[in-house]
Amino acid sequence: MKKQLMFVVSLAFVFILAACGSTDGDDQAKETTTWDKVQEEGEIVVGTSGTLVATSYYPKDSDKLSGYDVEVMRAIGEKLGVDVKFQEMGFDALFAAMNSGRIDAAINDIEVTDKRKEKYAFTTPYKYSYTTLVVREDGLSGIETLDDLEGKKAGGAATSVFSDIARHYDAEVITYDNATNDVYLRDVDNGRTDVIINDYYLSKLGINAFPQFDLVLHPDIKVHPTKQAILLEQEDSELQKKMNEALKELQEDGTLTELSKKFFLGEDASKQPEGEITEIEGIES
């Protein structure tokens, strides 16, 4: 009887030790976060395209990556006390890189949508905008309303919301592998594609940067209000909190406004645009 009792007590003790060990292991695992890694290494690895004029690009005669998003990220790095290391890749590749842990964050005019929030976390927005169309000046590429997109060819990234809009109106999406703005614009100009559906600020900057193309922003189409933010892994709540605190400071001290005006022809994209912007029913946002 004593042997049985000793066995039961010993077995219970083993379970208690196992439970304690499991709890300690779980706590240790939970304590190791992306923010911990960033602090330890003194560096945050950020994915971006390097090909998007005004947002993430190489200015003429410069070998240093710059743009609104790039400089916002550098300003955040300064607030956090860490270096920012950029890895350049196509827009569609940013999400795969985040999934694999290759990067700690991504910034590339990434729109915040409910669908993306199911898989990822976002900081508070650092940019507000809406969607417009880049079309040929002569006849507006035959597009008077969004319904006229049917059968047209729209240049864009495969996984962007802008391409979702194109498909929603039965346009054919022509995708590119991290192409620069001039490639997209040239194809509309020469008729290979008919339209680029994209962010207002980026579209305006693109047309302004390449005046050799006979292109305009559509005068009557102003739709789909957007918010852009930094993409993070869903469990990175601590890094998200730190970045949000930095962004709040950058908004309050005027840094975001200053950077926006520098890259967006004097316009402040860090605040919500004025005027009526039409929502598009049926587009997941």
Question: Which 3-state string (H, E, C) describes 14-48?
Answer: HHHHHHHHHHHHHHHHHHCCHHHHHHHHCEEEEEE
Q: What is the mean pLDDT of the chain?
A: 89
Give pLDDT, residue 19.
47
* Structural domains counted in the chain: 3
Q: Is the pLDDT of residue 285 over 90?
A: no
Assess whether 140 and 167 both reside in one domain: yes
Highest mean pLDDT among 49-53, 182-186, 247-251: 247-251
Assess whether 120 and 235 both reside in one domain: yes
Residue among 36, 40, 72, 38 at smallest CA distance from 55: 72
Q: Does 285 map to a domain? A: no
Assess whether 98 and 80 both reside in one domain: yes
Q: Which helix (H) or strand (E) holds 263?
A: helix 255-263
pTM of the model: 0.77
- Provide, for the chain, the percentages of residues in helix, strand and coil under a 3-state DSSP scheme, each rounded to the nearest 5: 45, 20, 35
Assess whether 215 and 156 both reside in one domain: yes
105: which strand partners? 46
pLDDT, tens digit (0-9, with 9 covering 90-100), for 115-130 = 999 999 999 999 999 9
Assess whether 234 and 102 both reside in one domain: yes
Q: Does 53 map to a domain? A: yes
What is the percent of the chain with per-residue pLDDT over 70, rounded to a whole number? 88
Angle at 107 between CA 285 and CA 78, to 5 degrees: 135
173: which strand partners? 154
Backbone angles phi, psi at 230, to 5 degrees: -85, 130
Assess whether 46 and 1 both reside in one domain: no
Nearby residues of 53 by Cβ (< 8 Å), 6 or more positions away: 67, 180, 181, 202, 205, 206, 209
pLDDT, tens digit (0-9, with 9 covering 90-100), for 133-188 = 999 999 999 999 999 999 999 998 887 889 999 999 999 999 987 788 899 999 99
d(CA 43, CA 83): 5
Q: For the domain that residue 136 is a member of, what is the CATH number? A: 3.40.190.10
Q: Does 280 map to a domain? A: no
pLDDT, tens digit (0-9, with 9 covering 90-100), for 1-40 = 544 544 444 444 444 444 444 445 454 445 689 999 999 9
Q: Does 282 map to a domain? A: no
Q: Does 281 map to a domain? A: no
Assess whether 211 and 138 both reside in one domain: yes
Q: Is the pLDDT of residue 219 over 90?
A: yes
d(CA 97, CA 103): 6
Q: Does 277 map to a domain? A: no
What is the dihedral sign for C-alpha 12, 14, 16, 22?
Answer: negative
Give pLDDT, residue 11.
44
Assess whether 112 and 233 both reside in one domain: yes
225, 255, 278 - which closes a domain = 225
Assess whether 61 and 22 both reside in one domain: no
Q: Does 255 map to a domain? A: yes
Assess whether 58 and 174 both reside in one domain: no
Assess whether 3 and 68 both reside in one domain: no
Assess whether 74 and 86 both reside in one domain: yes
Three-state DSSP at 219 gives coil
Range of the domain at 240: 34-128+229-263
